[in-house]
């Protein structure tokens, strides 16, 4: 089943309980255009509400790149002047928030380049499965860009402070083996096995008890949150729902 969100640059399909979200801008290595930023919150809100979606996979169209960050070719037209900059930044922030706060298991299937904003998108997923041709980098130090606390914090939680500093300080490219060793990705597969491996993982997740998965997701989020922001009562309430569920009874 294919869903329409008003742009051909975001392809959304549902197959056997799995939602597939494709960033479809291969001519620009799947850089995210304005219409894509605007569509992303609607896409993830819709997939969250659908009971026939148990798991979601994000991927890039073609074989060159996962996502190449923002489409800077639009900046001259859409991101000049204070008001345009504010509107653009608000749209990107809403898109990242929609991905990061998605309440179902989210897998990033990575092929080719995964650099800068594209890596930020991948880090927003719960699980990253990558082909052995992948290349990773955050070139902010070369470009003179600043990364705020939320993006840095997410990276530190994944790879630890020493690797996070190496990634930012050197701005160099890392291959798939290095990314796996650092914990930047969960699994590394041959290119030919990437889609099959991802489908198997997504199917495995989709077959499991959704309430248990939602509870685990909430508990992990609480573990990563500042202590003052942890709602442990909500986690315990979810645990109680698991034991009262039909899946547990079965």
- pLDDT of 78 > 80? The answer is no
DSSP helix/strand/coil, 57: strand
Q: What is the pLDDT of residue 245?
A: 66
For 50-69, write each residue's pLDDT tens digit: 999 999 999 999 999 999 88
Q: To the nearest whole number, what is the mean pLDDT of the chain?
A: 90
For 140-172, write each residue's pLDDT tens digit: 898 787 787 888 988 999 999 999 999 999 999
Asked if 9 contacts 24 with a C-beta cutoff of 8 angstroms, the reply is: yes
Q: How far apart are CA 88 and CA 38, in angstroms?
A: 10
């Amino acid at each position: 089943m294919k869903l329409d969100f008003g742009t051909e640059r975001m392809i959304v399909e549902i197959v056997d309980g799995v939602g597939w979200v494709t960033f479809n801008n291969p001519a620009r290595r799947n850089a995210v255009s304005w219409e894509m930023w605007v569509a992303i919150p609607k896409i993830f809100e819709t997939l969250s509400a659908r009971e026939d979606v148990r798991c979601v996979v994000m991927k890039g169209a073609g074989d060159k790149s996962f996502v190449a960050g923002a489409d800077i070719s639009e900046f001259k037209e859409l991101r000049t002047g204070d008001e345009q900059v504010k509107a653009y930044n608000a749209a990107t922030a809403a898109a990242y928030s929609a991905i990061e706060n998605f309440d179902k298991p989210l897998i990033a299937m990575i092929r080719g380049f995964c650099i800068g904003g594209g890596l930020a998108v991948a880090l927003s997923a719960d699980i990253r499965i990558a082909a052995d041709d992948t290349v990773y980098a955050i070139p902010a130090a070369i470009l003179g860009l600043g990364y705020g606390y939320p993006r840095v914090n997410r990276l530190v939680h994944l790879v630890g402070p020493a690797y996070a500093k190496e990634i930012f300080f050197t701005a160099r490219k890392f291959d798939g083996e290095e990314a796996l060793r650092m914990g930047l990705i969960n699994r590394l597969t041959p290119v030919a096995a990437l889609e099959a491996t991802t489908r198997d993982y997504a199917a495995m997740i989709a077959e499991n008890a959704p309430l248990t998965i939602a509870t685990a997701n909430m508990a992990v989020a609480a573990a990563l949150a500042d202590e003052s922001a942890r709602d442990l009562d909500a986690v315990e309430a979810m645990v109680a729902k698991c034991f009262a569920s039909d899946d547990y009874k079965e």
